[in-house]
Amino acid sequence: MSELFLQQLLNWITLGSIYALIAVGFSLLFGVLNIIHFSHGDVSLLAPFLALSVISAIGSALGDAGSLGTFLLALLVAIAITGVIGVLLDLVVIQRFRQAPAMMALVATVALGIVLRELIRHLFPNGSNPHAFPRLVEGDVTIAGFTIPLFSVMVIVVSVLAVCALFFMLNNTRLGLHIKAVSQDRDAARLMAINPGRIFRATFFVASAIGAIGGLFFSSYAGMARFDFSIDVGLIGFSAAVVGGLGSMPGAIIGSLLIAGLDTLVQATVPNGASYRLVFVFLLVIGVLVFRPSGLMGRSLVEKV
């Protein structure tokens, strides 16, 4: 195994983990709400800007912008605020489209994504330009003679932990069971005294917070925060969820790894691959959906007659 190969492999899994953190949110929200929250990617990528704001706020208040403690605190605050923003968007906009035709909700959330990006541009100081975003951890570890960047290790470990926590929450806690009940049959759940509104809000918080982790990782991976990152990243996260099968968490992860794999492969092997990566990725998306119309792990669409 050559050094280069290992590097690409790590790159693949790192990128796949980041996409997966965003894709599971798309899938979770679709499973519970049965609508596409197209702006989920934009919500997720609010987090790096929120983190930068918190850092500078702490910096100006306490004169302590550089320490690790400040940085960690900023990340946690950013994740929490992003979760709350997700809930607020549901309360203000998305819940109005619960009964509407699917296309309405899709177009409305596309517009919502535009609004979120523009808000970053106008509200964040100098928001139109890229802002440097630090690597969360520097340095390498050596495992079995191979040098591995600590950042990749952290991204992969945290992503696995986050996804495991999500699975545990869905399968073993009261809230998780309620979420599953609502996603399977909203009316039946209501009869069992589950308040769907509360479940929707909880789902939005969880999905947005996990997406925020993905957003922070992505900015850290790219070394900067940009208001328009969410166009590509959001679209890829959405594609991963759809390719995997909307509503299926394992599907979202498989879809993310598949897309990240192709992305990495194209960039490593195709001449001028960086320009053509999206062409390959979206041809893959089309190809998968032609042969598996409801995604790789999706519930098949056998209609009850």
Partner 1 sequence: MAESLALPRDTSNPVVSALTVIAVQLAGALFLRQFLLIDDWRLVIGLLLLFGAALVLMERVPSLEARVEAAFARHSRLALLLGIAIVLAFPFVLEGNTYALHLCVISMLYAVLALALNFQLGSANIPNFATGASYGIGAYASALLALNFGVSFWLALPVAAVVATIFGFLLGIPSMRTRDSYLALVTIAFGVVIHQLLNNLEFTGGPNGLVGIPAPELFGHSFASPLVIFGQELPSQANFYYLSALLVLISIVFARRLHDSRVGLAWNALRTDELAARCQGINVTWYKVLAFAVDAFLAGFAGTIYAFYVGFISPDNFTFLVSVTIMTMVIAGGMDNILGVIVGAFLLTLLPEKLRAFSDYRILFFGVTVIVFLMIRPQGLFPQRLRRYGH
Residues numbered 275-294 forming contacts with partner 1, rule: CB under 8 A: 275-276, 278-279, 282-283, 285-286, 289-290, 293-294
Closest to partner 1 by CB, 121 or 131? 121
Closest to partner 1 by CB, 66 or 101? 101
Please tell me whether residue 103 binds partner 1 under the rule CB under 8 A.
Answer: yes
| Identified binder of partner 1 from the candidate list 64, 122, 173, 195, rule CB under 8 A | 122
208 touches 44 (CB < 8 A): yes
| Identified binder of partner 1 from the candidate list 6, 57, 62, 111, rule CB under 8 A | 111
Question: What gap in Å lies between CA 25 and CA 21, rounded to an integer?
Answer: 7
Minimum distance, C-beta of residue 109 to partner 1, in the bound complex (Å): 9
Which is nearest to 135 in space by CA: 222, 76, 72, 25? 222
Please tell me whether residue 91 binds partner 1 under the rule CB under 8 A.
Answer: no
Please tell me whether residue 97 binds partner 1 under the rule CB under 8 A.
Answer: yes
Distances (CA, A) of 303 to 30, 72, 103, 299, 300: 19, 49, 20, 11, 9
The DSSP line for 178-245 is: HHHHHHH-HHHHHHTT--HHHHHHHHHHHHHHHHHHHHHHHHHHHTEE-TTHHHHHHHHHHHHHHHH-
| Identified binder of partner 1 from the candidate list 238, 248, 254, 258, rule CB under 8 A | 238
Closest to partner 1 by CB, 167 or 282? 282
Which is nearest to 217 in space by CA: 21, 65, 71, 6? 21
Please tell me whether residue 114 binds partner 1 under the rule CB under 8 A.
Answer: yes
Please tell me whether residue 270 binds partner 1 under the rule CB under 8 A.
Answer: no
Please tell me whether residue 129 binds partner 1 under the rule CB under 8 A.
Answer: no
Question: What gap in Å lies between CA 246 and CA 298, rounded to an integer?
Answer: 6
Closest to partner 1 by CB, 115 or 141? 115
Question: What gap in Å lies between CA 90 and CA 33, rounded to an integer?
Answer: 11
Minimum distance, C-beta of residue 229 to partner 1, in the bound complex (Å): 15
**Interior CA angle at 144 toward 140 and 149, to 5°?**
15
Please tell me whether residue 137 binds partner 1 under the rule CB under 8 A.
Answer: no
Question: What gap in Å lies between CA 123 and CA 97, rounded to an integer?
Answer: 27
The binding site for partner 1 (CB under 8 A) comprises 30, 36, 93, 96-97, 100-104, 106-108, 110-112, 114-115, 118-119, 122, 231, 235, 238-239, 242, 246, 272, 275-276, 278-279, 282-283, 285-286, 289-290, 293-295, 301, 303, 305
